[in-house]
Amino acid sequence: MTVFTKIPKQVEEVMEKWNGSTSRRNFLKGSGLLVVSFGAAMASVNPLSSWAQSETAAAAQAAGPYPDPDFRQIDSWIVIHEDSTATFYVGKTDGGQGTGTAFRQMMADELDIAFNKTDLIMGRTDITVDQGGSGASDGIARDGQAMRRVAAEARRVLLEMASTRFGVPVDQLAVSEGVITVKADPSKKVAYGELIGGSRFNVTLTGNNINATTGVAKVKAVGDLKIVGQPIQRYDIPPKVDGSLQWAVDAKVPGMVHARNVRPPVAGAKLISIDESSVRGIPGFIQVVSKGNYVAVVCEREEQAIKAARQLKVNWQKPATESFPTSEDLYKYMRNATPTSLTRDRPGVRLPSVVGNPDAALASAAKVIEAEYDFPFQGHTAIGPAHAMADPSNGQMTIWSNDMKAYGLRTGVADFLGMPRDRVRVIWLDGPQLWGRTAADDAGFEAAFLAKEVGRPVRMQWMRHEETAWDTKGPAFTFKLRGGLDAQGNLIALEYNARTVDYNHLGYNDPDTVLIAQLMGRRPSAPASGGASSPSEMYDIPNRRKTTHVVRLPLVWETPLRTGNLRDPNGPQITFAGESFIDELAAAAKADPVEFRLRLLTASTDDDNQFKRARAIAAVKAAAAAYGWDTRPSPKPLGAGTILTGRGISYCDRNSTVVVEIAEVEVNRETGHVWVKRLVCAHDCGLVINPDGLRGTIEGNMLHGMSRALHEEVQFDTEKVTSVDWISHPTLTHADAPARIDIVLVNGDPNPNRPDLPAYGAGEAAIKPMVAAVANAIYDATGVRIRRVPFRDKRVLAALQAARV
Amino acid sequence: MSDITLKVNGRTHTLDIDPSTPLLYILRNDLGLLGPRFGCGLGQCGACTVIIKGAAVRSCITPTSTVQGAEITTLEGLAQDGTLHPIQQAWIDEQALQCGFCQNGQIMNAKALLDRNPDPTDAEIREGMVGNLCRCMTYYRIQAAIKRAANVISAARSASGKEVVG
Ligand code: FES
Ligand code: FES
């Protein structure tokens, strides 16, 4: 019996181990056939001890070089085994949103094979094509479509083969679950494994780049999809709950040693000297490695490395000037700073910077409203700190990593170490949630550098204080918005000004900007500032202006306030300001917040080719209906008791995904504590691959947004980050979980004549409106507008007291 | 270094280690038990939770010398005879996790909670789980999974109770 492994990535190792020269790599080079069944291989594996053996065997065998798999060959994407099972190879990673399951669903559906007869390998640079890894919520929207096309082409080729075998035209064949049958004579049938099992397709695909990869076959029409759209359970969950999955933190090979970093005690400090004698007596001590301001210790055992890193005496020189303002002074600093640049608009931005004549419209408005909002630096603060293991055997470099962009890590490390790219490979394994953190995979570079230095496999892991202080940050923003209402309460002008400290936005695994490179003194020719969109572009406002300025902090390099992509880069910040302000305008117009938004959305019938306007209107209505929204202006009349309740709505689009969220809060007027008791989300991301996976992703996004709304803020004095653990940097907890969440998937094609419903991406969209939804609900409950994030008890209480609530 | 005897998941191990080493590193690096994970090393997040004498314990701040001879259960020890513990099954049924990195601690803490209080109220679940952090914020589904597991466990208990009575 074929037993499917619960550890797909390990299958490959095992196959390589048990099949000698018939490993997949060799197979893909055309030197042999893949003849093993998974059942045979897995039966030989003891899950607790297999790691080192299989990895060693794989490392010895697959000693490199590692050329790029050719994305223009079906064989690089799909292998069909003799037992009619299939393994898919894709260049993506799964951060825990179930995208791996979704990729299998999409490919299985197009290939016409049962989901449970498939397996998936992701993110191994030596054997999976380079789809860039994960990011930008495009896994389903873009890369999944290439996967579908390749699988459809494989199906077409198999049908051709069956046609030849039976001597009947393809259109007289039926295919179901990997078996092709002659329609007129169902006794004539052949399984995929009989047609091609263990052999190559040898079919070349076309397409200018990997995203455009295609064969001749067309993908199925949405109405013909059977596996897509099913709430299939994630294959990675059972091995995650029984402890059998081997994660990147678990990577281990014989001879491996442990490393820990020693960071400068204050930002911008310069290394003067290291007293190695301070740690030489620690058992297992191997080496202190330092270059520039980068310092690490290497020991035989993990606890020894931790001890050595704590104990190492290092003489640092503080910088002469302050590195940044304190977190309390940050917004004042940002408002007063001379901007360095205007950010680029993100691609796909619909409107030009100025529409109509905002100055004249504001001057003529019956009522002008103005408000300022502040949004702090927020970290990724992954539950597991950065980690990687690197093995320098055979003059190659193999890195086991949870890097969402494994391919970029490979290229970046090759450049960083001066190694040919085909001598470096990255093996992606599961890790803690990413949200953009491992797009700059500091630990991967550090492990590889140290492995090269000490000549042994090195496992690097950051400590908690290091991760919370030094991970990449979502940039802080200040906003100033002005809006003009006419006498009827219509919004006739909107002026949006944003400032962001996103002067030096980190690249993806850029060998000049990962932390180790910065500490070693490497610099790119110029810092790259971040880009930012602006809010609510589907609102029809006749006169508007949007401006985004970048400001810089005094310390640009080697700073713990280095900015990078954080789940929906800048979206929560911008939407907090934009959708809070729309609410303020609705209140000024004494209009119901839902009705006011619908008025702005329906004021024009001009839509884009994704029907974003029509879908936004549908989503607002769906959310209001699901919540049971009663029409009235905010705030509601102040209640008498200790607990004040209110509801707030917020809308956004992200690319073409539309999200509307409603938060219902309880505010304790004596403590300032906010509990988001109920959440409603209407979500439209186009084609849904796995509705339960999608719901889980939306829930995670909404609660992440709540955490950012209620708790998260990077705090710092003028020389270092001072929020360094879960006490000083709090996060959402079980106590904050809402009592009820309702999610309405509004997905459906507004154009019945379109053959295919696009998928627009769901990895990040639902985090975007949440902060504003909570702020608007607090206002509805209390009549007090909180314009600075996060809404911690103390801040809310102070605002309530100031307003005498 | 000295000999330390540990009883983990029903097996006894004797190890020559520095007895002050936190249990987490011994479990992971010497015994190959990878369920417990490093999240903070400070006792703040719960990712490293194991069960010792029925209580959820944070192995990252527990010196190994202090748990000699005590019965230690890790995530790997929950399933019995190849059958998942009802809590693990509830996690699958609810598809409770996102990345899953924290879930060792969520599951182990839920086990200790339900062993102590088989029929917790919503408030008791929140309170009992509050120290187990999840940065994917899967709290809503975890709480649903705990309720599901509590129901399954109590149904099994009353079923077996009936058999005894009958
Ligand atoms: S790792 Fe032990 S409590 Fe966080
Ligand atoms: S599931 Fe990812 S941290 Fe909890």
User: Is residue B165 in some structural domain?
Assistant: no
Helices (H), A172-275: 192-196, 237-241
What gap in Å lies between CA A454 and CA A684, rounded to an integer?
Answer: 51
In this prediction, residue A532 has a pLDDT band, given cuts at 50, 70 and 90, of: confident
What gap in Å lies between CA A409 and CA A389, rounded to an integer?
Answer: 13
For residue A703, which phi and psi values (nearest 5 degrees)?
-75, -30
Cβ A428 vs Cβ A405: under 8 Å:
no
Contact map slice: A 367-386 vs B, CB within 8 A: 381-385
Domain boundary among B58, B77, B96: B77
Task: Looking at the structure, tell me whether residues B97 and B156 fall in a common domain.
Answer: yes
Tens digits of residue pLDDT in A358-411: 999 999 999 999 999 999 999 999 999 999 999 999 999 999 999 999 999 999
pLDDT, average across residues A459-478: 98
Tens digits of residue pLDDT in A650-673: 999 998 999 999 999 999 999 999
What residue ranges line ligand 2, CB within 6 angstroms? A 96, 383, 432-433; B 97-103, 134-136, 138
Residue B56: nearest ligand to its CA?
1
Residues of B in contact with A726 (CB under 8 A): 40, 42, 44-45, 133
Cβ B53 vs Cβ B116: under 8 Å:
no
Cβ A164 vs Cβ A124: under 8 Å:
no
Which residue type is seen at A405? K
User: Is residue B104 in some structural domain?
Assistant: yes
CATH architecture classification, A254-325 = Alpha-Beta Complex (3.90)
User: What pLDDT was estimated at residue A63?
Assistant: 73
- Disruptive mutation site among B97, B99, B102, B126 for chain A (greatest number of A CBs within 10 Å): B99
- Closest to A539 in 3D by CA, of A604, A450, A636: A604
Burial class (CB in 10 A: 0-12, 13-18, 19+), A394: middle
Q: Six-digit token pair at A245?
A: 């999955």
Q: Mark yes or no for CB contact A431/B135 under 8 Å.
A: no
For residue B8, which phi and psi values (nearest 5 degrees)?
-125, 125
User: Is residue B140 in some structural domain?
Assistant: yes
With b for 16 or more beta-carbon neighbours within 10 A and e for fewer, the B63-84 pattern comes to ebeebeeeebbbbbbbbeeeeb
What are residue A459's DSSP bridge partners?
A258, A389
DSSP B94: T
For A278-308, the DSSP string reads HHHTSTTEEEEEEETTEEEEEESSHHHHHHH
Q: What is the 3-state secondary structure (H, E, C) of A644-712?
A: EEEEEEEEEEECCEEEEEEEEEEEECCCCCEEEEEEEEEEECECCCCHHHHHHHHHHHHHHHHHHHHCC
Nearest chain B CA: its distance from A593 CA (Å): 28
A246 touches chain B (CB under 8 A): yes
Task: Looking at the structure, tell me whether residues B101 and B72 fall in a common domain.
Answer: no
User: What pLDDT was estimated at residue A80?
Assistant: 97
Domain boundary among B29, B60, B77: B77
User: What pLDDT was estimated at residue B162?
Assistant: 58
Residue written as token pair 């705090």: A715
Pairing mode, if any, of strands A387-391 and A458-461? antiparallel
User: Helix, strand or coil for residue A437?
Assistant: helix
Is the beta carbon of B44 within 6 A of some atom in ligand 1?
A: yes
Decide if domain A386-461 falls under CATH 3.30.365.10: yes
What are residue B12's DSSP bridge partners?
B7
User: What pLDDT was estimated at residue A58?
Assistant: 52
What gap in Å lies between CA A87 and CA A12, rounded to an integer?
Answer: 10
What's the CATH code of the domain at B64?
Answer: 3.10.20.30
What are residue A185's DSSP bridge partners?
A182
Omega within 30 of 0 (cis) for the link into A67: no
Contact map slice: A 198-237 vs B, CB within 8 A: 233-234, 236-237
CA-CA distances (angstroms) from residue A394 to A12, A252, A347? 20, 17, 44
User: What pLDDT was estimated at residue A344?
Assistant: 61
User: What pLDDT was estimated at residue A10?
Assistant: 36
**A348, pLDDT greater than 60:** no
Nearest CA to ligand 2 atom 1: B100
What gap in Å lies between CA A436 and CA A327, rounded to an integer?
Answer: 23
**Side-chain half-sphere CA neighbours of A292 within 13 A:** 12
CA-CA distances (angstroms) from residue A53 to A253, A387, B32, B50? 8, 21, 13, 27
Domain ranges of chain A: 3-235, 254-325, 330-379+472-497+508-530+538-550, 386-461, 571-802
Contact map slice: B 64-123 vs A, CB within 8 A: 74-76, 78-79, 84, 88, 91-92, 95-104, 107, 122
Cβ A230 vs Cβ A690: under 8 Å:
yes
Quick one: angle between helices A770-782 and A691-710, nearest 10? 60
Q: Six-digit token pair at A48?
A: 């607790």
Tens digits of residue pLDDT in A124-172: 999 999 999 888 888 888 999 999 999 999 999 999 999 999 999 999 9
Task: Looking at the structure, tell me whether residues B49 and B11 fall in a common domain.
Answer: yes
For chain A, how far is it from start to end, CA to CA, in angstroms?
A: 69
Residues of B in contact with A735 (CB under 8 A): 126-127, 130
Task: Looking at the structure, tell me whether residues B9 and B72 fall in a common domain.
Answer: yes
Average pLDDT, chain A: 91
**A51, pLDDT greater than 60:** no
User: What pLDDT was estimated at residue A353?
Assistant: 86
User: Helix, strand or coil for residue A191?
Assistant: strand
Greater model confidence, A264 or A531: A264
Is the beta carbon of B131 within 6 A of some atom in ligand 1?
A: no
Q: Which of A302, A431, A463 sits opposite B25 (nearest CB)?
A: A302
- For ligand 2, the distance from its centroid to the CA atom of residue A691, given in whole angstroms, is 20
CATH code, A330-379+472-497+508-530+538-550:
3.30.365
Domain boundary among B53, B77, B101: B77
Q: Which of B25, B79, B100 sits opposite A303 (nearest CB)?
A: B25
- For ligand 2, the distance from its centroid to the CA atom of residue A323, given in whole angstroms, is 34
Tens digits of residue pLDDT in B102-145: 999 999 999 999 999 999 999 999 999 999 999 999 999 999 99
Contacts of A463 (CB under 8 A, 6+ apart): A260, A306, A309, A385, B41
Same fold, A3-235 and A254-325: no
User: What pLDDT was estimated at residue A38?
Assistant: 30
Residue B45: nearest ligand to its CA?
1
User: What pLDDT was estimated at residue B106?
Assistant: 98
B15 touches chain A (CB under 8 A): no
Asked which of A4-18, A412-426, A659-673, B146-160 is least confident by mean pLDDT, the reply is: A4-18
Q: What percent of chain A has pLDDT over 90?
A: 85
Q: What is the 3-state secondary structure (H, E, C) of A452-472?
A: HHHCCCEEEECCHHHHHHHCC
B51 touches chain A (CB under 8 A): no
Cβ A579 vs Cβ A773: under 8 Å:
yes
CA-CA distances (angstroms) from residue B86 to A589, A788, B40, B126, B150? 54, 44, 28, 20, 8
Q: What's the angle, vertex CA A735, arms to CA A732 and CA A736, rounded to 5?
A: 50
Q: What percent of chain B has pLDDT over 70?
A: 97
Decide if domain A3-235 falls under CATH 1.10.150.80: no
Tens digits of residue pLDDT in A738-774: 999 999 999 988 887 888 899 999 999 999 999 999 9
The count of CB pairs under 8 A between chains A and B is: 175
Is the beta carbon of B41 within 6 A of some atom in ligand 1?
A: yes
Task: Looking at the structure, tell me whether residues B55 and B92 fall in a common domain.
Answer: no
With b for 16 or more beta-carbon neighbours within 10 A and e for fewer, the A577-603 pattern comes to bbbbbbbbbbbbbebbbbbbbbbbbee
Contacts of A248 (CB under 8 A, 6+ apart): A387, A388, A389, A400, A401, A402, A428, A429, A430, A431
Cβ B111 vs Cβ B51: under 8 Å:
yes
- For ligand 1, the distance from its centroid to the CA atom of residue B52, given in whole angstroms, is 15
Find the domain containing B103 and state its range. 86-160
Q: Which fold has domain A571-802?
A: Aldehyde Oxidoreductase; domain 4 (3.30.365)
User: What pLDDT was estimated at residue A341?
Assistant: 81
User: What pLDDT was estimated at residue A794?
Assistant: 98
Is the beta carbon of B46 within 6 A of some atom in ligand 1?
A: yes
User: What pLDDT was estimated at residue A64?
Assistant: 80
In this prediction, residue A349 has a pLDDT band, given cuts at 50, 70 and 90, of: low
User: What pLDDT was estimated at residue A529?
Assistant: 86
Rg (CA), chain A: 28
Contacts of A129 (CB under 8 A, 6+ apart): A68, A69, A70, A71, A76, A77, A89, A90, A91, A210
Nearest chain B CA: its distance from A171 CA (Å): 41
User: Helix, strand or coil for residue A473?
Assistant: strand
- What is chain A's percent helix, strand, coil content, to nearest 5? 35, 20, 45
Site to probe by mutation for ligand 2, drawn from B101, B107, B142 as the one with most ligand atoms within 8 Å of Cβ, is B101
Residue B107: nearest ligand to its CA?
2
- Closest to A294 in 3D by CA, of A460, A427, A420, A473: A460
Contacts of B104 (CB under 8 A, 6+ apart): A243, B35, B36, B37, B47, B48, B49, B75
Asked which of A83-92, A357-366, A430-439, B89-98 is least confident by mean pLDDT, the reply is: A430-439
**A48, pLDDT greater than 80:** no
Indicate which atom in ligand 1 lies nearest the CA of residue B45: 4
Tens digits of residue pLDDT in A564-606: 999 999 999 999 999 999 999 999 999 999 999 999 999 999 9
CA-CA distances (angstroms) from residue A337 to A325, A328, A426, A495? 11, 15, 42, 20
- For ligand 2, the distance from its centroid to the CA atom of residue A532, given in whole angstroms, is 28
What gap in Å lies between CA B112 and CA B125, rounded to an integer?
Answer: 12
Task: Looking at the structure, tell me whether residues B16 and B59 fall in a common domain.
Answer: yes
User: What pLDDT was estimated at residue A352?
Assistant: 74
Pairing mode, if any, of strands A473-474 and A378-379? antiparallel
In this prediction, residue A50 has a pLDDT band, given cuts at 50, 70 and 90, of: very low
Q: Which of B1, B21, B35 sits opposite A243 (nearest CB)?
A: B35
**A46, pLDDT greater than 50:** no
In chain A, whose CA is at the least distance from the CA of B91?
Answer: A241
Q: Using CA atoms in the order A353, A357, A359, A360, what is the torsion angle rounded to 10 degrees?
A: -170
With b for 16 or more beta-carbon neighbours within 10 A and e for fewer, the A460-480 pattern comes to bbbbbbbbbbbbbbbbbbbbb
**A478, pLDDT greater than 70:** yes
Indicate which atom in ligand 1 lies nearest the CA of residue B37: 1
Contact map slice: A 291-330 vs B, CB within 8 A: 301-303, 306
- For ligand 1, the distance from its centroid to the CA atom of residue B37, given in whole angstroms, is 8
**A343, pLDDT greater than 70:** no
- Closest to B26 in 3D by CA, of B63, B56, B52: B63
Specify the number of domains making up chain B: 2
DSSP A210: G
Contacts of A364 (CB under 8 A, 6+ apart): A484, A492
Q: Which of A245, A382, A739 sits opposite B135 (nearest CB)?
A: A382
